[in-house]
C-alpha cells in the first residue's frame, strides 16, 4: 500500500473554468522525498493545498495510508505545510511561533519545551528562541517556518517553495539542511519548486508538471537522461537541451534525420522506432554535453554537421561553446582540450548515442 495516493485528482476554481489540475495519478511511498517541479501556474500549489485540505477537490480522491481523507479537516490529516510565503507571526517570539501548533494540540508544557528545542536545533536557530521575527534575517525566518513544520512530526510534510525568498548561497545551504532533516526524521515529503537544480539535488523522485498534468515521474537521473517529452527535456538541465526540427529519410545507411543544415544517422537501437516515420517531421533533442567537437572534416559515424564556434564561456572545470546551426543557437558543454576558441571551425558529432527523438506534434518521446 502506498503512503499517499492521488487518484484522478482534478481541480477547477469555477464551474466552467479550466481544469487547473487535470486527472493527476500518483503513488508515494513512506519516507520518500518527492519534488513537484513545473513552471509558474502549472498547478503545484493547488495540488498540495488539496492534499493538505485547504482547498476542495473538484473530482478524484486523495488517500493517506489507504484511507480517503477528503472528508477530514486539515488538522486531522496528519499533514504539515510550509507555505510559499512562509507565514510566521510577527508578534510572537521564535519559541512561540514554533510552539504554536503544539499548543493547539494541547501538548504538555514540558514536552512543548523539549520538542521546540529539538526542532530549533534541527535548523540551527536554537539561540534565537527569545527573539521576534523582525530581529531575524530572511534565512533565519525561513528556518522558523521549517522548525514549526517539523515540530509536529507530521506524517506528511508539504513544502511550497520554502527556499524561494533566500539568496542563492543560503538556498543551497538550506537545501542541504532540509535533506539532512529528512534523512533524520524520515518524514514523507512533497517539496514544490520551479527550480530544476533544486529539484535535481533534493528529490528521490521528481514529478514534472505542465498545465495541470504530470509529464513525467522519475528519479532525477531518469528525467534528465531519459526525458519522456520535449517539455521535460527543455525544462530540465542548464544549459538547456538543444532542439532541431528534422525529417526522417531512408538512405543506403538506414534511416537518417535530415534538415538543411545537418544529417545524422539514427543509432541502431532507434532505427526500427523511427522506420514508420519516413518523410515525417521529428524534433531532435541533444543535451549540451552530448555534442562532441572534433577537427573539421570529422569522420565520426555520429557526425552531425560543421560549425563555427562563436563564443567560449569558461565555467571553471568546463567551457560552454556557443555556435549556430541554421538560425538556432547551440550550446555545448566541452570538457576536453582547450584548443577551441571563438572563430574555430569544427565538426560536431553526437557522443554515446546521446540523442532523443520527439514527435513533432505531440512532443512525446519516440523510443
Ligand X SMILES: Nc1ncnc2c1ncn2[C@@H]1O[C@H](COP(=O)(O)OP(=O)(O)OP(=O)(O)O)[C@@H](O)[C@H]1O
Binding site for ligand X (CB under 6 A): 13, 20, 38, 40-46, 84, 194
313-327 per-residue burial string, b: 16 or more CB within 10 A, e: under 16: eeeeeebbbbbebee
Which one, 39 or 328, has the nearer CB to ligand X?
39
- For residue 165, the partner it binds in Mg ion, ligand X, none, with Cβ less than 5 to 8 A by kind, is none
Strands of the sheet with 242-251, listed across from one edge:
263-265, 254-258, 242-251, 281-286, 356-359, 365-366
- For residue 46, the partner it binds in Mg ion, ligand X, none, with Cβ less than 5 to 8 A by kind, is ligand X
Closest CB 43 distance from ligand X, rounded Å:
4
Closest CB 274 distance from ligand X, rounded Å:
34
Please, are residues 158 and 148 in contact by the beta-carbon 8 Å criterion?
Answer: no
Please, are residues 11 and 18 in contact by the beta-carbon 8 Å criterion?
Answer: no
- For residue 194, the partner it binds in Mg ion, ligand X, none, with Cβ less than 5 to 8 A by kind, is ligand X
Which one, 48 or 248, has the nearer CB to Mg ion?
48
Rounded Cα gap, residues 213 and 28, in angstroms: 17
- Give phi and psi for 139, each to the nearest 5: -65, -35
How far from the centroid of its chain's Cα atoms is residue 32's Cα?
A: 15
Q: Which stretch binds Mg ion (CB under 5 A): 44-52, 63-71, 105-113, 261-269?
A: 44-52
DSSP for residue 211: T
- For residue 20, the partner it binds in ligand X, Mg ion, none, with Cβ less than 5 to 8 A by kind, is ligand X
| DSSP per-residue codes, 148-197 | HHHTT--SEEEEESTTTTS-HHHHHHHHHHHHHHHHHH--EEEEEES-HH
Closest Cα partner for 214 from 51, 12, 367, 37? 37
Q: Which stretch binds Mg ion (CB under 5 A): 37-45, 129-137, 301-309, 316-324?
A: 37-45
Please, are residues 266 and 233 in contact by the beta-carbon 8 Å criterion?
Answer: no
The three three-digit cell numbers of residue 68, written as one number: 480517503
Q: Out of 45, 188, 216, 227, which residue is the one contacting Mg ion (CB under 5 A)?
A: 45
Closest CB 19 distance from ligand X, rounded Å:
10
Which one, 164 or 265, has the nearer CB to Mg ion?
164
Gyration radius from the chain CA atoms: 25
Task: Determine, following the binding rule CB under 5 A, whether residue 52 of this chain makes contact with Mg ion.
Answer: no
Which one, 45 or 52, has the nearer CB to Mg ion?
45
Closest CB 21 distance from Mg ion, rounded Å:
12
Q: Which residue has the cell 507530521?
A: 154
Q: Which residue has the cell 508544557?
A: 109
Closest CB 160 distance from ligand X, rounded Å:
7
- Give phi and psi for 342, each to the nearest 5: -55, 130
Closest CB 161 distance from ligand X, rounded Å:
6
Please, are residues 61 and 73 in contact by the beta-carbon 8 Å criterion?
Answer: no
Closest CB 326 distance from Mg ion, rounded Å:
37
Which one, 62 or 112, has the nearer CB to ligand X?
62
Q: Which stretch binds Mg ion (CB under 5 A): 38-46, 118-126, 240-248, 338-346?
A: 38-46
Which one, 193 or 242, has the nearer CB to ligand X?
193
Which one, 40 or 260, has the nearer CB to ligand X?
40
Which one, 145 or 348, has the nearer CB to Mg ion?
145
Q: Which stretch binds Mg ion (CB under 5 A): 42-50, 232-240, 241-249, 293-301?
A: 42-50
Contact positions toward Mg ion, by CB under 5 A?
45
Amino acid at each position: 500500500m502506498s503512503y499517499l495516493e492521488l487518484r484522478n485528482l482534478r481541480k477547477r476554481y469555477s464551474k466552467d473554468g479550466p481544469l487547473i489540475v487535470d486527472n493527476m495519478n500518483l503513488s508515494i511511498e513512506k519516507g520518500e522525498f518527492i519534488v513537484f517541479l513545473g513552471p509558474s501556474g502549472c498547478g503545484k500549489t493547488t495540488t498540495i493545498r488539496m492534499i493538505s485540505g485547504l482547498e476542495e477537490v473538484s473530482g478524484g480522491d486523495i488517500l493517506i495510508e489507504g484511507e480517503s481523507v477528503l472528508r477530514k479537516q486539515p488538522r486531522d490529516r496528519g499533514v504539515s505545510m510550509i507555505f510559499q510565503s512562509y507565514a510566521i507571526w510577527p508578534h510572537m517570539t521564535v519559541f512561540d511561533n514554533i510552539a504554536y501548533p503544539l499548543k493547539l494540540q494541547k501538548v504538555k508544557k514540558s514536552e512543548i519545551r523539549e520538542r521546540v528545542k529539538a526542532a530549533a536545533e534541527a535548523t540551527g536557530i536554537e539561540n534565537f528562541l527569545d527573539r521576534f521575527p523582525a530581529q531575524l534575517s530572511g534565512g533565519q525566518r525561513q528556518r522558523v517556518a521549517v522548525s514549526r513544520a517539523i515540530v509536529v512530526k507530521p506524517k506528511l510534510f508539504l513544502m511550497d517553495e520554502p527556499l524561494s525568498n533566500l539568496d542563492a548561497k543560503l538556498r543551497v545551504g538550506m537545501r542541504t539542511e532540509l535533506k539532512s532533516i529528512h534523512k533524520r526524521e524520515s518524514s514523507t515529503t512533497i517539496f514544490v519548486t520551479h527550480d530544476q537544480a533544486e529539484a535535481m539535488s533534493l528529490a528521490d523522485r521528481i514529478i514534472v508538471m505542465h498545465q495541470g498534468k504530470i509529464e513525467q515521474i522519475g528519479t532525477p537521473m531518469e528525467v534528465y537522461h531519459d526525458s519522456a517529452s520535449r517539455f521535460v527535456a527543455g525544462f530540465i538541465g542548464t544549459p538547456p537541451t538543444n532542439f532541431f526540427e528534422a525529417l526522417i529519410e531512408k538512405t543506403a545507411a538506414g534511416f537518417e534525420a535530415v534538415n538543411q543544415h545537418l544529417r545524422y544517422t539514427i543509432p541502431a537501437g532507434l532505427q526500427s522506432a523511427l522506420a514508420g516515420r519516413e518523410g515525417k517531421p521529428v524534433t531532435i533533442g541533444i543535451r549540451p554535453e552530448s555534442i562532441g567537437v572534433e577537427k573539421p572534416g570529422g569522420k565520426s559515424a555520429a557526425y552531425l554537421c560543421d560549425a563555427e564556434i562563436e563564443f567560449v564561456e569558461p565555467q571553471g572545470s568546463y567551457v560552454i561553446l556557443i555556435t549556430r546551426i541554421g538560425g538556432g543557437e547551440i550550446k555545448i558543454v566541452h570538457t576536453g582540450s582547450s584548443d577551441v576558441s571563438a572563430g574555430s571551425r569544427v565538426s560536431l558529432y553526437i557522443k554515446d548515442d546521446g540523442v532523443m527523438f520527439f514527435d513533432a506534434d505531440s512532443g512525446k518521446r519516440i523510443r
